[in-house]
Amino acid sequence: MVSTPRRATPAGPVSRGGTYPTRKGTFLSTDTKFAGLIPTGHSAMVYSSSYVVESLGSGVQWGANNWYSSKPHAWGMTARATSSTQDATAADWARGKLGKPYNYNYYDMGTRSAFYCSQLVWAAFRDTTGIDLNTSAYDVLGLHAIHPMELPSSANSTKVSTFYVK
Backbone angles phi, psi at 53, to 5 degrees: -105, 125
Is residue 55 domain-resident? yes
pLDDT 10s digits, 115-137: 999 999 999 999 999 999 999 89
Is residue 147 domain-resident? yes
CA gap 138, 150 in Å, rounded: 9
Rounded to a whole number of angstroms, the distance between the first and last alpha carbons of the chain is 35
Using alpha carbons, select from 58, 59, 29, 28 the residue that is nearest to residue 46: 28
Q: What is the mean pLDDT of residues 43-67?
A: 97
Q: What is the mean pLDDT of the chain?
A: 88
Our count of domains for the chain comes to 1
Using alpha carbons, select from 58, 63, 128 the residue that is nearest to residue 99: 58
Is residue 5 domain-resident? no
Report whether 28 contacts 21 (CB < 8 A): yes
Is residue 36 domain-resident? yes
Rounded to two decimals, the pTM is 0.88
Is residue 137 domain-resident? yes
Cα atoms in the 13 Å half-sphere on the side-chain side of 26? 21
pLDDT 10s digits, 73-120: 999 999 999 999 999 999 999 999 999 999 999 999 999 999 999 999
Angle at 153 between CA 69 and CA 38, to 5 degrees: 60
Residue 124 has what pLDDT?
98
Is residue 120 domain-resident? yes
CA gap 88, 150 in Å, rounded: 21
Is residue 8 domain-resident? no
Which residue range is the domain that position 55 belongs to? Answer: 21-165
Please report which confidence band the pLDDT of residue 17 belongs to, taking 50, 70 and 90 as the band edges: confident
Task: Indicate if the pLDDT at residue 144 is higher than 60.
Answer: yes
Domain containing residue 75: CATH number: 3.90.1720.10
Please report which confidence band the pLDDT of residue 16 belongs to, taking 50, 70 and 90 as the band edges: low
Is residue 80 domain-resident? yes
